Amino acid sequence: MPEFQYVARGMSGQEVKGLLSAGSETEVVSTLSTRQLFPIHIELAESSQNKSRLLGRRVKSRDLATFFAQLSDLLRSGVPLLRSLELLEKQTRSQAFKVVLEAVREEVAEGTRLAEAMRKHPHAFSELAVSMVRAGEEGSFMEDVLRRVADFTEHQEELKSRVTGAMAYPFFLILFGVGIVTAMMVWFVPKFDPIFQRMEARDSLPWATKAVRAISDSIASYWMFIPLVIGGGCFFVVRYAATDEGRLMFDKIRLKIPGAGKIYRSLAIARFCRILGTLLKNGVPILNSIRIAKDATGNRVLSAAIGGASDNISAGKTLAQPLAACGEFPEETVEMIAVAEEANNLEQVLIDIADGMERRTWRYLELFIRLLEPIMLVAMAAVVMFVLLGLLLPVLQSSSVLSG
């Protein structure tokens, strides 16, 4: 609980200073009133201000993966949750994460469930992690779900490292290429202006040259506005993505990105199937299981579609029918669920579906990462070739006219 510094006056008018632990300034005022003190000034103590700054920092994925894995091991060994959180808080080296764990431990000590305590720290714990922990609490398989979250976080970190490694060389070439193209547009293209003007007067200027010349003129005239436009655009996108409408829109875009959208959708559906199957196996009713598992997708579009499916199930339909109607699930997945419902082994089939989809998706992801580098190199080569084509075509045409 944060500490507040206060300055107050007593009934006799004397000034009193001190520290109070409270949840808010209102609680401090109420406590001082019971002591017959009238507050003059209240502010967070320096230690609490430092904690507030640390609470706003993002936590590294590596620290999160270690935390979830160790918490799973401690709970599996019979260590109580509160004691486990205390041990992990003491041993973590990240000051930002230490403050987060302290706040989570205090919330749990006051009777708050772990998922709800985590939800109050979105900079540290993602919505996906919170929803999966909530599913573990509801289904009484906390140890398993924490291990699953740890594995998923490690996979994400590994994927990020692999993509970063694969993109390092193309990214360097792109920066180098953009620098060269920009220099050509600013200093080299204007040198050809006399040739361009003569050919434009004869209406024989190639379309590629017209495009290159227009880009060069725009850069030369408005170069000072380009950083402002890029910076303002990035700021607007970040702010918009933080809103509910923005998150929904970006979730729709993620599902439609060529190549990457298929990977994202498959992993989201695999998480849903795994959590749903595990909940059903632990005896949680199907409607409640679906309402919990839909948040494990990490995508609002899929969550909304699954939520609509749960409404249809409550009307007496099977799970496969509404999932097929929502149009977000692969046909083969829906067929396997339909067969499983008829055979009365839906729990195990859902987990098998998740295993199979994850294996196929990781193979597809390997191929996607390998193809990413040559695709980017070809795209950069195409841009450079277009600029060179725009410059050389007038020169070649002028040479042919002179020789003729």
Over the stretch 71-100, which tens digit does the pLDDT of each residue have?
999 999 999 998 999 999 888 888 878 888
Per cent of the chain over pLDDT 90 is 2
Q: Is the pLDDT of residue 295 over 80?
A: no
Averaged pLDDT score across all residues of the chain: 78
* pLDDT, tens digit (0-9, with 9 covering 90-100), for 244-277: 888 888 888 888 888 778 888 888 888 888 888 8
* pLDDT, tens digit (0-9, with 9 covering 90-100), for 340-351: 888 888 888 888
For residue 13, the model assigns a pLDDT of: 67
Q: Taking a C-beta distance cutoff of 8 angstroms, is the pair 17, 41 a contact? A: no
The whole-angstrom separation of Cα 277 and Cα 347 is 4
Domains and CATH numbers, the chain: 3-54 (3.10.20), 57-125 (1.20.81.30), 155-404 (1.20.81.30)
Q: Is the pLDDT of residue 299 over 60?
A: yes
For residue 50, the model assigns a pLDDT of: 46
Q: Residue 207 is encoded by which pair of tokens? A: 């379309």
Q: Please name every residue paired with 9 in a beta bridge, in sequence order, or none if there are none.
A: 15, 38
**Per mean pLDDT, which range of 113-122, 252-261, 280-289, 313-322 is the poorest?**
313-322
Q: Is the pLDDT of residue 236 over 50?
A: yes
CA 11 vs. chain centroid, Å, equals 54
What counts of helices (H) and strands (E) characterise the chain? 18, 3
Of 114, 138, 129, 145, residue with least CA distance to 283:
138
For residue 361, the model assigns a pLDDT of: 82
Tell me the angle at which helices 95-109 and 46-55 cross, rounded to the nearest 10 degrees.
100
Q: Is the pLDDT of residue 222 over 80?
A: no
* pLDDT, tens digit (0-9, with 9 covering 90-100), for 153-180: 887 777 677 767 766 777 777 788 777 7
Of 68, 147, 138, residue with least CA distance to 101:
68
Name residues whose C-beta falls within 8 Å of residue 283's C-beta, 6 or more positions apart in sequence: 139
Cα–Cα distance list, 380 to 109, 221, 291 (Å) = 56, 25, 46
